[in-house]
Structure 1
Amino acid sequence: MKFFIISTFALCLYILLDILLNNQMWEANTVLTVYLQDHQFPGEKEIFLFFSYSLFAMPAIALIAFLFFDNKLGALLYACLIQAIFAENSVLKNIYHQARPYFIEDEIQPYECNKEFGKPSGHAMSSSAMCFLVPCIIFPVILKDQSNYKYPYYFRVIIMFIVTAWTFMTGLSRVFMGVHSFGQILLGWVYTAYTIIIYLRYFHTPISNYIKQCLQPGSQGVSSNVIKGVGLFAFGWTCLSILLFEFNNKVFLDESEVEEWLDALYQKCANQTTHYNINSPQVLHNICFSLSLYIWFPFSFLLGIKLSKGIYNENQFSINYKMLNFWQKLSRVLIFLLLLSTLVPIILIQYQNTYAEAFGKVFNILIKKILPTSILSGLIITYIYSQILNYFKLAIEGDFIQISPQLVSTPEGYKASELGQLNF
């Protein structure tokens, strides 16, 4: 409890300092960004673009870990937490509703034309989470000795230096590119630090152990109360997102000021051919509302585990995976990628209404887009993929999730109170 109180107090203190020093940090950032853009050395832009876009390589690490390594559950929990941080960032942006530097500073040029609000930085939040959680969740052996693995101290120092430097360079790249102030970057780092520290200290081990117990042979599966609790949280999050969206739409935002921001986007971005307005679902509070619905991915992840009634033994996968031939291994990968590719048409469809863009619209019923994409992706990774592997006899012992008629978890089980000891 003491650690939680101190961490929360530190977060609140920084938020207060950020509010008090906002104008000074913005002015200093304008000077810094203009200097960086006016005094580039050859190749500097390409270096910063590399770090900015390298963010998208991190999910590939989780994908590789899920497909080829024992710690499949760690890879999936990593994906859940990253999706939750995306949603957290989107809600926070609609709370702060602050412009990006290139929206309002004439001398700052954008090297990437992001269209949503700038505070806190989504790249800062997601990159810091993605970098630091790889050794913490996906490959915990890097930081913690295990019976069959022990890395030297200097190796661990090198790994932490790399992820720290990578996070810093990603943040600096966003300042250089004119799409964030360093105040927005720092705030993003602070929010993510608080989120992952609290999660790792109080939640990760109980959640991980609970799911492993639910997937043991003869276990009782994920409790319906847990599913309902996570679903209720996601529903409440969605209601909060709608509330913030409507407040921005009708109270907080000045339409004439927003039009000036969107004019800057249209005039400064060479590849921007559409002149958006305040109601366009691709910009500002509209897109932030849509992206906040990624919070539904953890719900569908747990729902898929419950529906599968399968088992999981993380210590057996590598041994049995080696027994597969090349074509069996390739088939497993292709099936997974093919299933994920079915989401592409859903993602690519564009609507001109924000609610339709967030929830989708088929026969005038809101069905599609971010919300269903989040739910379907969770079900594909857990339930549908395991069922297809079982059908084609490609499932092996240690899979997440292995479907076996002889060894299954029963439909109903652990109470919500048994999720673990969450002692604050």
Structure 2
Amino acid sequence: MSENINNRSKGSQHGSDEAIQPANKEQRKEEVSWKIFFIWTLVFILIFGAFVCLDLAYEKPLYKETQKFLPDIQDKNSFMDYFMVIIGELGESFGIIATCWIAANILPFSESCFLLISVGACLYINGILKILYHAPRPFFDTPKIEALSCSTSYGNPSGHAMYFSFPFPLVFILLFRSQIKQKKYILPAIFGALTIAICGLALFGRIYLGVHSVDQVIYGCTLGLTLLVYFVFVLYKPLMGYIHMFTRRKCSRNEMIVHLSINLLMVLLVLTTIAVIAYVLNITTHDDPSEWNTAVELKCSKSNLKENSIFVRKALRNIFAPIGIFGCFGGIILYSYYAPTIVDKYLNNNVWVVLGRLGVSLLCMLPFVPLLLIPSSAPFVVLLIFAELLMSFSFTIVLYFLGRLLMVKIKLFTPVKDVEAEIEMSDNKVEASH
């Protein structure tokens, strides 16, 4: 009898050991993954820092070569002037809005958040580096180079080059994965071809327009590709795990939105503090040459420029500008995630209902219209953000709701949110039948 009891106790102890072992293995895997994450993060910081230091110490012969050959290129064809300006706009507000639209409409919730974080990191890092480098654009200090597209922020690194080498390829990667799973090949093929064509034209266009030199474009591409590799191979799993941790909490939707909002505000507060510190360091330790202001006044037909402030003010505005767009699309993504019965079932959306929501959304923007009257010489730079972003807000809202209508009518692709909703509904029906 005692032997049977001992055998049972040994068996139960053996079973408990087997149950503990998988948990220990999973814990070890998590510890190893976090160690790998921190190691690769340290390697990334060291490589990134070394690259920045080398660029600061470099004498920039490519910048001087750009000053020599660019005046001859700009005199060749007047049609190219307008064409390159249009292509350049694809890397600014339109490109950002298109990227966020794809995140809000096509990608799953977690990947939508990951894409927005990546876009925000790209634009933020670019703005901070421009303030720290305070490097001129070619038309600032070269009288023969025309300003075919007036940009009054600093020139290095190229924001377009960073954007076209980081968020655009990332959109293609995420879009390719989500659509191939559904055996949809048209949208990834179209977006991939457009990405390659637009990126090549835009990078050449930044040099042609006189707003960037060859070395600034190369530097922007290098930084963008470095960030792409780091985000895809190092940050993807930790960020996705962090997003899933929030979405799978056992709490109400209102509590979830409060948690996400608080964390988002904390991150924005830290990033804003860093940007303000960089801004203060620049205006207190560095004076831009007066020739730069003179060149902007003459070539861009601008007057009443505040000496030694316009370039860093513009760079600071470029840092804060994405916050408004991300806030707008972040609200849309949260809305689409936490209201699936309204947003995700596109086929049940009446056209007039969607247009009604569009009208209400635009009416909500009316109280902010007076902000457009703020002059460009306003002393408080933060006020300019609202005036600059009001049109972006309106455009993103219109684009979002019109995109909904196009998806209902054309049915070019099936959003992942729809597929997940259909699977969940079918699973519920099967459980109910059993």
Kindly indicate whether the alpha-carbon contact (under 8 Å) linking 2:162 and 2:221 is maintained by their aligned counterparts in 1: yes
Task: Report the Cα distance in structure 1 between the residues aligned to 2:352 and 2:153, rounded to whole angstroms.
Answer: 44
Shift of 1:177: 0.6
Answer yes or no: is 1:267 the counterpart of 2:298: yes
In 2, Cα distance between the equivalents of 1:35 and 1:98?
A: 23
Distance 1:50 1:166, change over 3 A: same
Among residues 278, 286, 304, which one is paired with 2:307 in the alignment?
A: 278
1:345 to partner: Cα distance: 4.1
Q: Which of these residues, 14, 19, 23, is aligned with residue 60 of structure 2?
A: 23
RMSD of aligned residue pairs (Cα, Å): 4.3
Q: For residue 183 of structure 2, what is the aligned residue in structure 1?
A: 149
Larger Rg: 2
Residue from 90, 111, 115 that aligns with 2:127: 90
Contact conserved, 2:126 with 2:162, CA < 8 A, in 1? yes
d(CA) in 1 for partners of 2:349, 2:57: 60
Letter in 2 for 1:194: T
Aligned residues: 359
1:91-125 Cα distance to aligned partner (Å, 9 max, x none): 11110011111110111111011111111122222
Matched, 1:293 2:327: no
Q: Go from structure 1 to structure 2 and tell me whether the alpha carbon gap of 1:58 and 1:336 turns closer, same or farther (over 3 Å shift).
A: farther
Correspondence for 2:375: 350
Letter in 2 for 1:239: T
Q: Secondary structure at the match of 1:262?
A: helix
TM-superposed CA distance for 1:187, in Å, is 1.7
Give the 3-state SS of the residue equivalent to 1:179 in structure 2.
coil
- Shift in Å at residue 7 of structure 1? 4.1
Identical positions, percent: 19
Secondary structure in 2 matching 1:278: coil
Q: 1:244 corresponds to which letter in structure 2?
A: A
> Per-residue CA shift, 1:27-59, capped at 9, x if unaligned?
111123223213x24632233222112224324
Distance 2:144 2:365 in 1: 42
5 Å-filtered alignment, 1:334-373, equals 334-339=359-364, 343-346=368-371, 349-350=374-375, 352-354=377-379, 356-358=380-382, 360=383, 369=385
Give the AA of the match of 2:313.
Answer: N
Q: What's the counterpart of residue 11 of structure 1?
A: 48
Q: 1:48 aligned to 2:77?
A: no
Residue identity in the other structure for 1:330: L
How far did residue 74 of structure 1 move? Answer: 4.3
Instruction: Give the Å deviation of 1:169.
Output: 1.8
Kept in 2, the 8 Å contact 1:279–1:286? The answer is no
Letter in 1 for 2:351: F
With over 3 angstroms needed to count, the CA separation of the structure-2 counterparts of 1:369 and 1:161, relative to structure 1, is closer
The SS at the match of 1:99 is coil
> Is residue 2:347 matched to residue 1:311?
no
Name the structure 1 match of 2:200. Answer: 168
Alpha carbons of 1:232 and 1:140: their partners in 2 closer, same or farther (altered >3 Å)?
same
Equivalent position amino acid for 1:184 in 2: Q
Q: 2:355 aligns with which of 313, 327, 330?
A: 330
Following superposition, the deviation at residue 327 of structure 1 comes to: 1.1
Matched position secondary structure for 1:322: helix
Q: Is the 8 A contact 2:103 2:116 kept in 1?
A: no
Quick one: distance in 1 between partners of 2:249 and 2:126? 38
TM-score (norm 2): 0.67
Which stretch of the first structure deviates more once superposed, 235-244 or 215-224?
215-224
* Corresponding residue number in structure 1 for 2:10: none
Counterpart code for 2:138? P
Contact 2:88 2:202 in 1 (8 A): yes
Helix, strand or coil for the counterpart of 1:43? helix
Residue of structure 2 in register with 1:365 after alignment:
none
Cα deviations by residue, 1:219-249 (Å, 9 ceiling, x for unpaired)? 4554877655544443233232222222222
> Does the 8 A contact of 1:110 with 1:268 survive in 2?
yes
What are the ranges of 5 or more consecutive residues in structure 1 without an aligned counterpart? Answer: 361-367, 386-397, 403-424
Cα distance change of structure 1 residues 290 and 54 upon mapping to structure 2, 3 Å threshold: closer
Is the CA contact 1:245–1:285 (under 8 Å) kept in the aligned structure 2? yes
Is the counterpart of residue 32 in structure 1 residue 69 in structure 2?
Answer: yes
Question: Equivalents in 1 of 2:348, 2:53: separation in Å?
Answer: 57
How far did 1:19 drift? 3.1
Shift of 1:17: 4.0
- Corresponding residue for residue 191 of structure 1: 223
Letter in 1 for 2:374: I
Q: Please give the alpha-carbon distance, in whole angstroms, between the structure 1 residues aligned to 2:263 and 2:250.
A: 24
> Aligned-pair distance for 1:24?
0.8
CA 1:113–1:17: 2 relative to 1, 3 Å: same
| Pair 190,370 (structure 1): closer, same or farther in 2 beyond 3 Å | farther
Residue-by-residue CA offset, 1:169-188 (whole Å, 9 max, x unaligned):
21211111111112111222
CA contact (8 A) 1:120 1:185 kept: yes
CA contact (8 A) 1:234 1:295 kept: no
Does the C-alpha gap of structure 1 residues 341 and 70 become closer, same or farther in structure 2, counting only changes over 3 Å?
farther
